[in-house]
Every structure is written in structure tokens, then in C-alpha cells.
Amino acid sequence: MDEHRSSHSILMGYLLWVFGFIGAHRFYYGKQISGTIWFFTLGLFFVGWIIDLFLIPSMEREATARFIPGPTDYNITWILLTFLGIFGIHRFYMGKIFTGLLYLFTAGLFGIGILWDFLTLNEQISEVNRGY
């Protein structure tokens, strides 16, 4: 495995930055605490959101150093969670068939499972990639 392969993308970070006033890019880069703060304060009243425009390259480097790249792609999984999380498609993609079915039939465990996945998805993907 290429040790210098990036787990997270700068392009994806900037695309999620568009929704960054709700913390999307911060969750993507594994910054759950500040992502939650951004979510409840609209990106620190939009000021932090604008500053993050310049911080995304360093967030990408930190995430790449922290999370394990592998066959389960972080970008694809985050897109699936963001747009199809209620159906559990991201869980099927990670090979978690049972919980994927559970999400499918319970609307993402009534939304609580989706919230959990926003907080823990990077670690889940690293765990799956570690197994390969």
C-alpha cells in the first residue's frame, strides 16, 4: 500500500465548505467538536466559515496523517452518507450489510444513526481499511 496516498481530498473539502456553515467540511476532516460548534452557530456566525476557506489545506494534511487510506474511499463514503444516509447506502459500501439493512428499514435508525455516522465515519472507514 502506498504510504503517501491521501485519505481525504482538498477538492472535497472545498465542495463541503459550501455547506461549511453547518460544519460539513469539519466533520469530513475529522473535527467533530468544531463541526458541532459550526453546526449550532452557523460557522461561528459565518466568520469561522470564511476563515476556514484558508485552513482547508492544513485540515486535509492533518486528516491524511490521521486516517488510513485503503479500498474504502473516504470521499465516496461521505457523499453516500450525506445524500443517501437515510437508506444506509454508505454502510453497504463499507461492507456493513446488517446495519445497512437496519438503516434502510428504519430511516437511518430514525436519524440518530445518521448523526452517529457524521460523528464517527472517518474512524469507521479507517477500521474497515485497516482490515485489508
Report the pLDDT value the prediction gives residue 21, as an integer from 0 to 100.
81
Tally the C-alpha atoms within 13 A of residue 55's C-alpha that lie toward its C-beta: 15
Q: Which three cell numbers stand for residue 67?
A: 486516517
Neighbours of 34 (CB within 10 A): 17
CA 120, CA 93: separation in Å to the nearest integer? 16
Identity of the residue numbered 81? L
CA distances from 87 to 57, 106, 113 (A): 32, 8, 11
Q: Please list the pLDDT of the chain residue by residue as tens digits (132 residues).
A: 445 578 999 999 999 999 888 899 999 999 999 999 999 999 999 999 999 999 999 999 999 999 999 999 999 999 999 999 999 999 999 999 999 999 999 999 999 999 999 999 999 999 999 997
Entry pTM: 0.89
